[in-house]
Amino acid sequence: MRIIDVNLAIIGLIFTSCVSSTPNEAVQEAKDETVFATIERKQEPIETTVLQGKTFYQELAGNGKVTASRSAEVRFKTVERIAHVWVRNGQRVQTGQKLAELDKFRLERSLAQAKDNLEQSRLNLQDILIGRGFSLEEIDSGLSLTLPKREGAEPSSPPLGESEGASDFHLAAIKSGYNKALIAYELAAKELKQATLKAPFSGVVANLTAKADNLSSTGEPFCLVIDDAHPEVAFTVLESELPMVRPGYSVSVIPFAERDPQARVWGEVTEVNPYVESNGMVKVKARVSNNGRLIEGMNVKVTMRQPMGERLVIPKSAVVMRSGKPVVFTLTRGKAQWNYVEVLAENSDSCTVAPRTKEYEGLSAGDTVIVKGNLNLAHDSEL
């Protein structure tokens, strides 16, 4: 029994010592964390700026969509096998650059046949006019019946106009089949020319799905060429916001998916639709310079800026809330000074405050304002 009592006493002593030491360790750890947090706050860097009067811009923010200032659907006019495709989606092209080409065998043969028919009808026309007493010189000078000197060029129509015998020439051209042959030749030459698609202007290729060795389609465009150098941004504003929107006003645009401030581009308002829709919105368009990150149909954030004259402007980070009131700390002789301020207006990165007067504390030009490290400051804190 004694041995058991001693063992129980030893176990109880060990348990008591463990229980009594645990709260002390927890308190010590809490103190260490408090000291560490205090040190971290004290080491928070302080940044300042000298308050100066400068132009403040009131901002109006909204959402918009990018649309190309110019775009064109390029399509084939005939159904033939696509022989070559020289471009791909996203590729930049220049005006007149070849995009694709059809197999020209049938089109070239059609043009050759149309040319032979035109030559035959020209001979028939000469026979008819000679039979009516016209000389070859009169025929050549009166009708100017000359075939194209190179493949693909369109022949000029005969000037059946004001010379004597013009009505005879016209009737002879119809009877000989010359007019019909000339029209057939022009159509064949046009189809051969359209077998090669070219870029109508400089831009980027989009919506290209056709592939070589497949038949072309006349119902669907081969591709879309977009002039994205200076795209337009369409957005809407409230009727009450119209005084802030005028052609020529500055706007900034940044894609929703972008977080890099360098992706922001600038432009100006180009048109304001003079019509208020049933929901109280007005359509506005702005033109911007593309930095390569704006594409057709993209959703963007639009910010318009209107100058409000010279004001006392500080970064928004300089304003902290104390007892529900805005406060700005200034640095004076190495100490932080607590200043109540009245925020008159603000935009995305700055705000303007009321100047100091005899009746109002405020701020004055030349004050050294603390813009960073001011969250845990108190009045007269030494820095």
Q: Are residues 233 and 116 in the same domain?
A: no
Among the residue ranges 33-47, 199-213, 357-371, the one predicted with the least confidence is 33-47
Q: What is the CATH number of the domain that holds 220?
A: 2.40.50.100
**For residue 304, what are the domain limits?**
60-68+228-308
Question: pLDDT, tens digit, for every residue of 96-125?
Answer: 999 999 999 999 999 999 999 999 988 888
Given 227, 248, 283, the domain boundary residue is: 227
Among the ranges 40-54, 217-231, 252-266, which has the highest mean pLDDT value? 217-231
Asked if 250 and 288 sit in the same domain, the reply is yes
Instruction: Read off the pLDDT band of 139 (50, 70, 90).
Output: low
User: Are residues 74 and 216 part of one domain?
Assistant: yes
Q: Is 325 found in the same domain as 218?
A: no
Residues 36 and 51 in one domain: no
Question: What is the model's pLDDT at position 375?
Answer: 86
The answer to whether residue 3 scores a pLDDT higher than 50 is: no
Convert 100-110 to b/e letters by CB count within 10 Å (16 or more is b): bbbbbeebeeb
Which of 308, 341, 366 represents a domain boundary (last residue)? Answer: 308
36 shares its domain with 4 = yes
pLDDT at 75: 94
Q: What integer pLDDT is reported at residue 219 of this predicted model?
A: 87
Judgement on whether residues 303 and 327 belong to the same structural domain of the protein? no
From 227, 248, 273, the end of a domain falls on: 227
pLDDT at residue 298, rounded to an integer: 93
Q: Are residues 97 and 140 in the same domain?
A: no
140-176 tens-digit pLDDT: 665 554 433 334 444 444 443 444 456 777 788 888 8
pLDDT tens-digit profile of 324-349? 899 999 998 888 988 999 999 888 88
CB-based contacts of 63: which residues, under 8 Å, 6+ apart?
Answer: 235, 299, 300, 301, 302
Per-residue pLDDT, averaged over 283-292, amounts to 92
* 202 in the same domain as 100: yes
Task: Answer whether 0.95 is exceeded by the pTM.
Answer: no
Q: pLDDT tens-digit profile of 10-20? A: 444 444 444 44
**Residues 175, 275 share a domain:** no
> Could you report the per-residue pLDDT of 225-276, keeping only the tens digit for each?
999 989 999 999 999 888 888 898 889 999 988 878 778 899 999 999 999 9
Residue type (1 letter), 177: G
142 shares a domain with 123: yes
Q: What domain count does the chain have?
A: 5
